Structure 1
């Protein structure tokens, strides 16, 4: 039996809370990235400390005892607060101290604008490494990222956020096929279908019967090679094709520029290992987008 003044077994409490949440020792071991025997040992330590069972077997299933339910209901939320606060306030000094992870739901924005530009920011920060990952799924507080850049998602945890771009759409095509053409061209040339994009046709007072439907792609970055080389059109965010237009690779059809109503935002989550760097990155992206938008409108 444990002595009355034994230290509280905090690691065992954390493991027990995980057992309660996962519903079994096996699933708790998976969630914690450890072995079942290790989880069982921690459970035994805590039960010895209390002098009573916390879990009881029901056939192949494990259930909390009344004492176990009372204890986990009391400590689970405060434990979450402790873990969250510790993560938020931690400052790394190892290899991860000069690295941030940027998550985005805007794959073409990342491909054509975000990834080609951070060299200057990295240089300012002594060679900071900017990892970029893309996902259309809503982020969770357990996902590993420092910055979220999105058009229609948001975070459900503490974060500072910046408006970085009010999206403008343009219709582009190959210069060889677009010379001298006007917006009426959209009635005679196929427009590539992008399944991740909202429908732009109503802003031009056009309906589906007014256009020719072209090939279908998941994202604009997959459609860019097709519009560059083929006799087809693409409706895309202006910021993602601005470099190609400036270099003469694509041509914007006059009169096609229109706001989509979508706003890009950048979020720096409080739990980031490098919160100040994450905020600086968001401010830097906002400035870069602002300069690009001014150049596009000129």
Structure 2
């Protein structure tokens, strides 16, 4: 009986390729099988579900609502299964187990990426991730698999993931922030981060404030230098929310009520086409996107 038949992963893979290519013909070429084989796989799935997955219009195949729901649900898990099988088939090759991530976001790497890499490595069966921090623009001769950036331009072919729309917040130690609103800015010094001179002006505009509305504090080159100062002292820091999310969760920092504002900047991850480990690079970008989304959703905080 149909309800007792196991679902065919080959049929699912064929269907997902048709969904990506919008064509049985192109999908058959990508998979290296005949068009009739692809059509037979689709028919097997439609019989299994008792529902149409595709509407065929000439040479194009369009997903039905049911087909789109199924494709969205299984595409990423199947990619992970195929990647894991391929990696294990290489008998633990050193190259297959290594990824090089280049980033211009040193503090993001320090506070968000690196503390969570163990989770990614575990998901991928022990992949080692090398992290390189640099502000220089990448060249096509540079050796890396993934570029993680907010402001660097990439001139070579790559797949892009938009991982975080930057939100700015003003934070301080709990005893410095508790029970205070934006009026605290007039009496409590605000640390300046010289590597991001855009942050304070952007944040002030977002809250309709002027420079004269804040008290200037100490200057630090980078956010990762300013974080220990703000967690232990009587000062405030305007910073991207995501890099202090864990410190807020731990109770080491608190958001000044009413201090959230978008910066208009976007963090992006690029999986470089020339990467020798493109499957790993894609898996990393998908994982990092999920991580940032989770951290953003967990830290709703005061608006």
Compute the TM-score of the two structures, normalised by the length of structure 1. Answer: 0.67
Contact 1:92 1:273 in 2 (8 A): no
Residue 244 of structure 2: aligned partner: 241
- What secondary structure is seen at the aligned counterpart in 1 of 2:101? strand
Provide, for residues 123-151 of structure 1, a one-character-per-residue CA deviation record: whole Å limited to 9, x for no partner. Answer: 12221101111111111111111101111
1:123 and 2:122 matched: yes
| Contact preservation (8 Å) 1:192, 1:215 | yes
The residue aligned with 1:153 is 152
| Mapped partners of 1:240, 1:265: distance in 2 | 15
Q: How does 1:71-150 map to 2 (within 5 A)?
A: 94-150=93-149
In the TM superposition, residue 241 of structure 1 has moved relative to its aligned partner by 0.4
In 2, distance between residues paired with 1:154 and 1:280? 22
Identify unmatched segments of 5+ residues in structure 2: 1-89
Deviation, 1:95, is 2.4
User: Is residue 205 from structure 1 mapped to residue 205 from structure 2 by the alignment?
Assistant: no
Corresponding position: 1:227 with 2:230: yes
Aligned mate of 2:254, from 237, 251, 254: 251
Counterpart position of 2:41 = none
Q: CA deviation at 1:93?
A: 7.7
Summarize deviations over 1:33-80 as a string: whole Å, max 9, x none: xxxxxxxxxxxxxxxxxxxxxxxxxxxxxxxxxxxxxxxxxxxxxxxx
Task: Say whether residues 1:277 and 2:289 are aligned partners.
Answer: no
| Structure 1 residue corresponding to 2:294, chosen from 288, 291, 296 | 291
CA displacement at 1:277 relative to structure 2: 0.5
Aligned CA RMSD, in angstroms, stands at 1.6
Question: Deviating runs (4+, > 4 A) in structure 1?
Answer: 91-94
- Give the CA deviation at 1:210: 2.0
Alpha carbons 1:108, 1:221 under 8 Å: kept:
yes
CA distance in structure 2 between the aligned counterparts of 1:96 and 1:209, rounded to whole angstroms: 55
Partners of 2:291 and 2:93 in 1: CA distance: 30
Contact 1:100 1:130 in 2 (8 A): yes
- When the two structures are aligned, how many residues end up with a matched partner? 208
| Rg comparison, structure with higher value | 1
Uncovered stretches (5+) of structure 1, i.e. residues with no partner: 1-90
Task: Give the Cα–Cα distance (whole angstroms) in 2 for the partners of residues 124 and 233 of structure 1.
Answer: 38
Q: Deviations over 1:192-230 (max 9, x none)?
A: 111122132211222222222111112111100100111
Kindly report which structure 2 residues correspond to 1:38-77, keeping only aligned pairs within 5 A, or say none.
none
**What's the TM-score, normalizing by structure 2?**
0.66
User: Over residues 154-208 of structure 1, what are the superposed CA-to-partner deviations in whole Å (9 max), with x where a residue is unaligned?
Assistant: 3110100000001111100011121101011112111111112213221122222
**For residues 245 and 124 of structure 1, what CA distance do their matches in structure 2 show?**
27
Tell me how far apart the structure 2 counterparts of residues 174 and 231 of structure 1 sit (CA, whole Å).
7
